[in-house]
Amino acid sequence: MTEQRDEAPIRERPEGVDDATVEALGKVSEALEAIEIARGHLYTFHRLMGTADFTLGEGVDLLREAGHDDVADRLESEVVGRNVLDGRWTFQVVEEFDDGYYSAFKQAEQDAREQLAQGVRHLHEAGLKQQRRTTGRSGHEPRPPQR
């Protein structure tokens, strides 16, 4: 590790970008991270609902084989393949979210970074890393070694 590598800034802050702007963009980025997690949970919900529907279908078949046609018929007609929301299966919910709120949020966050910080991402976090690391200490390097 060279001193030059350790002392260089972690991420260059574009000229004219003040602390208040970095903090504000950091909050916008933090909100986007929460949206990404929510989106992941939405996809998890989508997968679990599909799994449940097919597993229920297998249960219905087993009920029929066990001679419980009346119970199987009710489950099949009322639940198997049922919409999870009015007129929608989960793939439609995921698509609507992705095409609407999610894509609008992602674009607005990117536009804000482009307008205010030349598109540089994670300026707030880069500043935190610089403040919290121990200069010269192994495991606290500002960036990976160049190869």
Buried b (16+ CB within 10 A) or exposed e, 13-46: beeebeeebbeebbebbeebeebeeebeebeeeb
What is the structure's pLDDT at 4?
Answer: 46
With a cut of 50, say whether residue 3 has pLDDT above it.
no
What is the structure's pLDDT at 144?
Answer: 86
Please report which confidence band the pLDDT of residue 10 belongs to, taking 50, 70 and 90 as the band edges.
confident
As a residue count, the chain comes to 147
* pLDDT tens digits for range 105-121: 999 999 999 999 999 99
Question: pLDDT > 90: what percent of the chain?
Answer: 77
C-beta atoms surrounding 70 within 10 Å? 9
* pLDDT tens digits for range 40-53: 999 999 999 999 99
pLDDT: is 5 or 130 the higher one? 130
CA 64 – CA 120 distance, rounded (Å): 60
- pTM, entire model: 0.83
| Residues ≥6 apart with Cβ < 8 Å to 142 | 5, 6, 8, 9, 10, 129, 130, 133
Q: Calculate mean pLDDT across residues 30-39.
A: 98
CA 62 to chain centre: 38
Mean per-residue pLDDT of the chain: 93
What is the structure's pLDDT at 29?
Answer: 96
